[in-house]
């Protein structure tokens, strides 16, 4: 599945198109600085990879799924 990053994720920059791989856990801690803002609800975290092969773990609230 393809997605666009809504915030920087390590070496992968905001706005980059990525491939979503497998679920790697949940994010239980969100602050006001995060794209989705503060949240008390945990969200799944997925491993994503850009076309250059960089891989990062990203909270699903920081992804925009693309068709």
Instruction: Supply the pLDDT for residue 27.
Output: 75
What's the DSSP call for residue 13? P
Give CA–CA dist 30/41, Å, rounded: 9
Q: What is the pLDDT along the chain (67 residues), one digit of tens a residue?
A: 999 999 999 999 999 999 999 999 887 777 777 766 676 677 899 999 999 999 999 989 899 999 8
Three-state secondary structure call for residue 5: strand
Q: Computed over its alpha carbons, how large is the radius of gyration of the chain?
A: 11
Which residues are paired to 27 by β-bridges? 43
Angle, CA of 66, 56 and 19, to the nearest 5°? 30
pTM: 0.80
Give the residue ranges of DSSP H helices in the chain: none
């Amino acid at each position: 599945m393809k997605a666009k990053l809504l915030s920087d994720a390590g070496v992968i920059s905001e706005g980059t198109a990525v491939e979503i791989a497998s679920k790697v856990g949940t994010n239980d801690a969100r602050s006001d600085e995060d794209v989705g803002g503060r949240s008390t609800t945990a969200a799944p975290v997925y491993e994503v990879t850009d076309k250059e092969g960089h891989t990062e773990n990203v909270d699903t609230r920081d992804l925009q799924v693309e068709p």
